[in-house]
Amino acid sequence: MSADNSERPTGDVDPERDLTERVETFLARNFPQIQLHGGTAGVEGVDAESGEVWLALGGACSGCGISPMTVGAIQSRLPQEVPEISTVHVDAGGTGGHF
């Protein structure tokens, strides 16, 4: 009887994928109002080595008067909850571009 290990997990974790999933979970848990108000929030990219993450806010967030506060809250709270993140770049559409 031969063992086929082709479908077994290797134990290797892709750090960028793991970080992306953690950031997505953070956004969904801490900022449900984005989606509730017709906006979107997505991870555009992560660099696990440098600790940077790039996010994009869209939909109703683009041009929304409180988007700058949402961006500030994300930039402040995300590194506290996900310590591997040191820098958060957010493109909020019509609210001033990248931070």
* Number of structural domains in the chain: 1
Residue 58 inside a domain? The answer is: yes
Residue 51 inside a domain? The answer is: yes
Confidence band of 8 (pLDDT split at 50, 70, 90): very low
Residue 29 inside a domain? The answer is: yes
Residue 2 inside a domain? The answer is: no
> Measuring CA to CA, how many Å separate 3 from each of 6, 7, 47?
9, 11, 36
Q: Which residues pair with 91 in a beta bridge?
A: 56
**Residue located via tokens 């990219």:** 45
CATH code, 90: 3.30.300.130
Q: What angle do CA 46, 76, 51 make, to 5 degrees?
A: 25
Give the three-class secondary structure for 25.
helix
Residue 74 inside a domain? The answer is: yes
Residue 9 inside a domain? The answer is: no
Confidence (pLDDT) at 10? 54
Predicted model pTM: 0.78
Residue 62 inside a domain? The answer is: yes
- How many Cβ atoms from other residues are within 10 Å of residue 36's Cβ? 9
Residue 38 inside a domain? The answer is: yes
Q: Which domain holds residue 24?
A: 15-94
pLDDT by residue (tens digit) across 40-99? 999 999 999 999 999 999 999 888 889 999 999 999 999 999 999 999 999 988 544 333
> Torsion over CA of 88, 39, 21 and 85, rounded to 10 degrees?
10
